[in-house]
Amino acid sequence: MTHKFAICLYMPDMPQNVGVIIRTAACLEFPLHIIKPLSFSMTDKRFKGAVMDYINYCDLRLHNGWEDFMVYCQNGNKRLILATTKTKQSFYDYNFRHDDIILFGKETSGVPDTIHQTIKEKITIPMNKKTRSLNLATSVAIVTSKIISQL
């Protein structure tokens, strides 16, 4: 059962997270977009240890920067949704569509303010106010599970 919604990672920092997210995308059958540059090589042993052979089963699309990714979204008439801690819109109450792409920022800094301001649609995972954020791979798995159950 291949899904049409997609996840996008903005210039991710941590090879292990990306490897785990590729495994999740392969197992749950949704496309994964990654906006380059990466801060690591895909030959990094930490990445390879996390991704194993799942990269062969993942619909992985690499984009050469933000502008390249935006051209893809506009040409495909995709709705872009930013997953962020800087909104009150819970993902629990959000109406996802098959053409959605959920954008997750860098583990260390999210997305730049210019991108944050450009994207109208935003969601968050409600959390304990005493904590900063969930791990990126965990966040992707949580949001993806909700989307699959809703669609």
Q: Which pLDDT belongs to residue 145?
A: 97
In the chain, alpha helices (H): 15-28, 45-51, 66-75, 113-118, 136-150
pTM: 0.95
Write the pLDDT tens digit of every residue in 114-135. Answer: 999 999 999 999 999 999 889 9
28: its two tokens: 């749950």
Q: Which pLDDT belongs to residue 61?
A: 97
Write the pLDDT tens digit of every residue in 36-86. Answer: 999 998 888 998 898 899 999 999 999 999 999 999 999 988 999 999 999
17: its two tokens: 């997270």
Strand ordering across the sheet containing 32-35: 60-63, 32-35, 6-10, 100-104, 79-83, 121-123
| Structural domains of the chain sorted by starting position, each given as residue range(s) with its CATH number in brackets | 6-150 (3.40.1280.10)
